[in-house]
Chain A
Amino acid sequence: MDSAFIIEKSVFIVAVFAITMIMAMYSTWAERKVAAYLQDRVGPNRAGWGGLLQPLADGMKLFAKEEFFPNTPNRFLFIVGPAIAMSTALMTSAVIPWGDKLEIFGRTVILQATDIDVALLYVFGIISVGVYGIMIGGWASNNKFSLMSSVRAASQMVSYEVAMGLSIIALLMMTGTLSLKEIAAQQAGMNWNVFYQPVGFLIFLICAFAETNRTPFDLAECESELIGGYHTEYSSMKMGFYLFAEYANMFISSAILAVLYFGAYNYPGMQWMVDNVGVNAANILGIVVLFIKICFFIFFYMWIRWTIPRFRYDQLMHLGWKILIPLAIVNIMVTGVCILVFK
């Protein structure tokens, strides 16, 4: 391991971190803008052109707010909660292949922070830990509403993780690998997994909505029943971290959706580009393509939010346990049969 390698990876990690943060920041802006446009309004448009400085203004406001501590015996856990939520939201980006490779100064730079061969398991593990941020925060708030909300969030995430995992198994049977880099490489051209696994994709998509606590599964936040939800007692930047983590999660899950099912950085004619125009140009276009896919999914999250009303809690559990899990198991079996027959 030479020093150039360490520098290369450090630069790449910092870049990924920065991009994730910027995407999360501008997701808050996009959320408000999309919400406004879908409701025939114009949305934020005072801070900067088209309201583009709005996220900065919001961030500055959150930093300047008073730090309030509720009367809680768990001051330490109260601080740890948002920290876990934020760090788990950022950690998943380590294994996502943002592109194939670039050639800089005669070196081949792999556009992935680390290519571990259990990348998908790693992602699932980190996402599961994300629940602890909400759970600990709600518990340490010493507030019944917060606790109730975090219990809701935790049980929802745990139940939907099962269906999510099962829907992924069908995909793994096809790809035969857990490495996201290889899964991305297998989908070259228009060979996207979504065409082979439409049901799996649908289950994964629904579960991704539930995992990120987005509408129609945003039962953890509920003004009419639970005041603010698990972050009722939070103020200042700790509150900001929770909200920010939600948007970072949204970005990461959009990235995973794009990588697993929508061909990652692949686009039709990529091989032709590599042969005729050059590796760098082809791969930079690949990164752009991946970001277009990610942005589409982020938009889709927001689009859904203003289309579908939320579930009642029993409906949520019904959908998770009685419909998605059996469906995912059937999907596994059908996939198995198809693999046996066609390969």
Chain B
Amino acid sequence: MSTAIQNISLSGKKKQVSNKEMTFLERMYLVAIVKGLWITIKHFFRKKATIHYPEQVREFSPVYRGQHMLKRDEQGRENCTACGLCALSCPAEAITMKAEERKKGEEHLYREEKYASIYEINMLRCIFCGLCEEACPKDAIYLTLSKELVPAQYDREDFIFGKDKLVMPLEMALKNTQLKNAN
């Protein structure tokens, strides 16, 4: 069955409009107003779309790129070896770091023989593109893990996040290991 092109409606919402004269009842608009009132009052009792932000948080998509997290491995050691590839790949030049050699007795803290003693991301420069995550050879930096937004601050200085804010908390690493072993 072939349909004429003017009758095809891909969205299913196509409506033929007409310019016919309105009847007296229609021109009074009272019926239309009552219909309109009915529509608006239905919205009055409808479930509200608002998410009460500080108390409720919108659920993140699994690939949502939020605040960065420097990952720890299964034994709770930092993955980062301060190779600087993330800083190199960063289009916004938001990352700086300073490398240090791992001393004896620090093997439980850092996985590699070299680690980042200072690791800073300027959150005002960062564009959350995720290229650092792609560049990292050691699986150290992730934007999808923290499930957090970078909070608002009053001073520019406060937006430079150091290791204290970026490194994955130890408990989280241990919990991840437990979960992994349980499976």
- Chain A partners chain B: yes
* A residues adjacent to B (C-beta < 8 A): 34, 37-42, 45, 303-304, 306-308
B43 pairs with A42, CB closer than 8 A: no
Min CB distance B88 to A, Å, is 46
The stretch among B3-11, B46-54, B64-72, B164-172 that forms the contact with chain A is B46-54
A40 pairs with B46, CB closer than 8 A: yes
* Chain A residues within an 8 Å CB radius of B37: 303-304, 307
B36 pairs with A307, CB closer than 8 A: yes
In the complex with contacts A307-B33, A308-B33, A42-B40 CB distance below 8 A: no
B1 at the interface (CB under 8 A from A): no
A306 pairs with B49, CB closer than 8 A: no
> Majority SS of interface residues in chain B?
helix
Most buried by A among B39, B44, B50: B44
CA distance A107 to B47 in the complex (A): 51
* Chain B residues within an 8 Å CB radius of A42: 48, 50, 52
A39 pairs with B33, CB closer than 8 A: no
> Majority SS of interface residues in chain A?
loop
CA distance A307 to B37 in the complex (A): 6
In the complex with contacts A40-B49, A41-B49, A42-B50, A303-B41 CB distance below 8 A: yes
A307 pairs with B46, CB closer than 8 A: no
* Chain A residues within an 8 Å CB radius of B36: 307-308
* Chain B residues within an 8 Å CB radius of A304: 37
Which residues of chain B from 62 to 87 have any CB-CB distance to chain A below 8 Å in the complex? Answer: none
B46 pairs with A303, CB closer than 8 A: no
Residue ID in chain A nearest B48 by CB atoms: A42
Min CB distance A315 to B, Å, is 11
7 inter-chain pairs at a CB distance below 8 angstroms, sorted by A residue, are A34-B44, A38-B40, A306-B40, A307-B36, A307-B40, A308-B33, A308-B36
B50 pairs with A39, CB closer than 8 A: no
